[in-house]
Amino acid sequence: MDANTFFIQVLNGIQYGLLLFLVASGLTLILGIMGIINLAHGSFYMVGAYLAFSLSQHFGSLWLAMAGGVVIAVGIGLALEWLLISRLYHRDHLYQVLLTYGLILMFEELRSLVFGDDVHGVSVPALLQASIPLTDTLSYPVYRLWMSAVCLALAVGMYLLIQKTRLGMMIRAGSTNREMVQSLGIDIDLLYRLVFALGVALAAFAGMIAAPVASVFPGMGNQVLIVCFVVVVIGGIGSVKGAMLAAILIGLVDTFGKVLTLEIGGVRVLPELSGMMIYVLMAAVLLARPEGLFGKRG
Amino acid sequence: MMRKVSVATVVLCCCLLALALLPWFAEKYYIQLFTKMMIMAIFAMSLDLLVGYTGLVSLGHAAYFGLAGYVLAFAAPQYEAASLWVSLPLAMACSGLLALVIGALVLRTSGIYFIMVTLAFAQMVFFVFHDTKIAGGADGIYVYAKPVADIAGWQPFTLENHTHFYFVVLALLVLVYVMLRVLLASLFGRVIVGIRVNEQRMRSLGYRTFGYKLACFVLSGVLAGMAGYFAAAQFGFVSPDLLGWHQSGGVLMMVILGGMGTLNGAVLGAFSMMLLELGFQGLPVVGGMDIGKHWQLLMGGFIVVVVLLLPHGLLGIGRLASRLLRKQEACDA
C-alpha cells in the first residue's frame, strides 16, 4: 500500500467514524442522561436516509430535503417520547429493550409499506460533485470531505451546547438527579423530550448525509445500530467525548480491516474476517476496562 | 395455597396429556407446527433461566441456538445423515463452549452494558457465518438428511418420521422442564435467584456470584443449543438468520409475554407467540393492503402494547383475575 492509498484510507476511516459518531452520540446521550436503551435508534438513521431519498426527488434538491427531513425527524422524536418513551423511565431496561424492539419491527414494515423494499441511490448535490486530484489516477470526492466537516461542526456544537450553555447545564444536572432538578422548578419532562428529539434528529441527519455515498436499503438501520452499540460500549455510556474517540477508532479499524491482508499460519484472516475486527476490539476494551474508556467506574 | 398449587398442577398435566395425544388427532401440518412450538419453548426456557431467574438480560441468545444448528450442518456430510448420539452432544458442547467464552467476557459488565455487549457478541458470530464462505455465507446451507438414532444397527426411532420427531421433542421438553424445576428448587436455584434480587448481599454471604452466573450462562447456552439443533434438523436448512438478533429479540419477547421467572410462562409465551405470528400472517388483504405480508407491523404494535399494559405477561392476567375475584369474595363476605 503506497502513501497515497494509505492517506485516502485514513480519510475514509475518519469520515466513517465521524458519521458513526453522529448516530452514537444520540444513543449515548439518551442512555446516559435519560437511562433509556433505545434499540430503535438505528431505525431513525434509516428513516433519515429514506427521507433524503424521497424528499430530494420531491423537491429536486438534497439541501431542501435535509432541511425538511430534520424537521420531520424532530417531530417524530417529540411524538415518540411523549407517547411511549416517557412511560419507560421508571421501568426495567428489559422493557425498554422490548418496546424499542417492537418499534424497530414497526418502522421496518412502515418503510416497506411506504417506500417498498428496493435499494435506492441519492445523487450528490451539484455544488459538491467535484473531486480533488491527488495523483494522476487517485482523487478524493469533495462530498466526503464536506461530510466530515459537517460532522465535526456538529460535534463541536454539541460539546458547546452541553458544556457551555444554561440548557446544557440543566441537562447534565438532570442526568445526575432528576428529582432535585424538578424541585428547582425546571420542567424536566420537557428537557428529556428535547434530548430525545435531538438524538433522533442527529441519527436521521446522519442517515441523510450518508445517503449519497452509501445506498439507501432495507435493514441499513440495524447494521449501524450494532456498530454504534460497540462505539458506546468502548467509549463509555453517556460520554460524548468517549463516543467521539471510539467512533474514530472503529472507523479506522473497520476501514483498514477491509483493505489490509493478513495471514496467520497460511490462513487468510483479513479481509475475510474484517467484520469481526471491531468486536475483537470491543472484547479487548472490556477485558481492560469493563466500563469503557471514558465511563464512570462503579 | 395448597389449593392453588394443585390447580396449577392439574392444568399442567392436562396440557401435557393433550400434547401427548395430539398426534392421534392432528394432521401432519399441525404435528410439525407443534414440534416447532415445543422447540421454541425449550429455547424460551433456556433464556428464562438467565433473564427471569438470574436477572441477566441477554439480547444475544440466538448465537447459541444458531451455532448448534450449524454444527449439525457440519456434522452431516452432504446427502449423508449424522449420528444423533454424536452430533447432538457435539452441538450442545459447542454452544456451551461459545457461551463459556462469551459469558466470561460479558459477565464483567452489568445492566445496560450487559444487554448491549451480549447483542454485539452475537452479531460477531452472525458476521462470521454471514461474511465467510465456511457455511454458504448469507445463503445458508441445507441439512439434507435428519440425524439417525442408530445404536449398533438398531434404531429406537427415526427422525424422518414426523410423529417420531414430535415425541422426541416432547420428551426433551418434559426432560428440560423437570430438570430446570429440580435445579431451581436446589440450593443452586436459590443462590441464582438471590443474585437477581441482591448480588451484593449474596457476595457478602460468601457466594462467588461470578461462578454461579457463568454456570447459568453456560447451561442456558447448552439448552439453547439443544433447541437450535432440533430446529435445524426439522427445518433442514440453516442460515445466518438463525443466529440473527431478530431471533434473539423474538425469544426474549416469548419469555416476557408468558411471564418471566416462571418456566410455565416461558412455555406459554413460546406457544402463544408462534400462534400469534401464524394468525397475523394469515390475515387477508384489506383495502389493497396485504396485512398478512406486513404482519411484523402488527407484531411490533402488539409488543409495544404488551410492554405498556401487561408488565407481568399472560400469566399476569391470571394473577390479576384471581386477585379481583378474591377482592369480590371479600366484599361479598
Q: Chain B: give the shortest CA distance to residue A13, in Å.
A: 20
Partner-chain contact B108 A112, CB within 8 Å: no
Give residue-wise pLDDT tens across range B27-60: 889 999 999 999 999 999 999 999 999 999 999 9
Give me the pLDDT at residue A298, please. 43
Interface test with B, best of A29, A31, A98 (most B CBs within 10 A): A98
Please tell me the distance from the alpha carbon of residue A41 to that of residue A26, in angstroms, as a whole number.
8
B88-99 as b/e: b if 16+ CB within 10 A: bebbbebbbbbb
Asked if residue A297 has pLDDT above 70, the reply is no
Q: Chain A: give the shortest CA distance to residue B294, in Å.
A: 6
Asked if residue A192 has pLDDT above 70, the reply is yes
Beta-carbon-side half-sphere exposure of residue B9 (alpha carbons within 13 Å): 7
Residues 6+ apart with CB under 8 A from A43: A103, A104, A107, A108, A221, A225
H or E element: which one contains B1? none
Give residue-wise pLDDT tens across range A20-29: 999 999 898 8
Asked if residue A150 has pLDDT above 90, the reply is yes
Question: Does A216 reach chain B within 8 Å, measured CB to CB?
Answer: no
Beta-carbon-side half-sphere exposure of residue B249 (alpha carbons within 13 Å): 24
Phi, psi for A141 (deg, rounded to 5): -70, 140
Give residue-wise pLDDT tens across range B251-275: 998 998 888 888 888 999 999 999 9
Question: Does A245 reach chain B within 8 Å, measured CB to CB?
Answer: no
Asked if residue A70 has pLDDT above 90, the reply is yes
Q: Chain A: give the shortest CA distance to residue B316, in Å.
A: 15
Mean pLDDT for chain A overall: 87
Asked if residue B236 has pLDDT above 80, the reply is yes
Please tell me the distance from the alpha carbon of residue B21 to that of residue B300, in angstroms, as a whole number.
34
Give me the pLDDT at residue A203, please. 94
Partner-chain contact B119 A226, CB within 8 Å: yes
And the C-alpha cell for B194?
A: 438471590
Question: Does A279 reach chain B within 8 Å, measured CB to CB?
Answer: yes
Minimal CA–CA distance to A286: which of B161, B49, B189, B103? B103
Give me the pLDDT at residue A103, please. 93
Asked if residue A265 has pLDDT above 80, the reply is no
Asked if residue A255 has pLDDT above 50, the reply is yes
Asked if residue B1 has pLDDT above 50, the reply is no
Q: Chain B: give the shortest CA distance to residue A136, in Å.
A: 34
Asked if residue B306 has pLDDT above 50, the reply is yes
Q: Which chain A residues have a beta carbon less than 8 Å from that of B137? A: none
Give residue-wise pLDDT tens across range A38-49: 999 999 999 999
Mean pLDDT, residues A155-167 taken together = 90
Q: Which chain A residues have a beta carbon less than 8 Å from that of B57? A: 93-94, 97
Q: Identity (one letter) of the amino acid at B6? A: S
Give residue-wise pLDDT tens across range B10-20: 888 888 898 88
Chain length of chain B? 333
Mean pLDDT for chain B overall: 87
At residue B3 the predicted structure's pLDDT band, cuts being 50, 70 and 90, is low
Give residue-wise pLDDT tens across range B159-187: 888 899 999 999 999 999 999 999 999 99
Partner-chain contact B300 A104, CB within 8 Å: yes
And the C-alpha cell for B137?
A: 455465507
The ipTM (two decimal places) reads 0.84
Percentage of chain A exceeding pLDDT 70: 98
Please tell me the distance from the alpha carbon of residue B134 to that of residue B56, in angstroms, as a whole number.
32
Partner-chain contact B308 A109, CB within 8 Å: no
Mean pLDDT, residues A256-267 taken together = 78
Give residue-wise pLDDT tens across range B66-124: 999 999 988 877 777 888 888 999 999 999 999 999 999 899 888 888 888 898 889 88
For residue B240, whether the previous peptide bond is cis, meaning omega lies within 30 degrees of 0, is no
Give me the pLDDT at residue B187, please. 94
Give residue-wise pLDDT tens across range B94-110: 999 999 999 998 998 88
Question: Does B59 reach chain A within 8 Å, measured CB to CB?
Answer: yes
Q: Chain A: give the shortest CA distance to residue B199, in Å.
A: 14
Asked if residue B153 has pLDDT above 90, the reply is no
- Higher model confidence: residue B316 or residue A291? A291
Mean pLDDT, residues A67-77 taken together = 94
- The residue whose grid cell reads 422548578 is A185
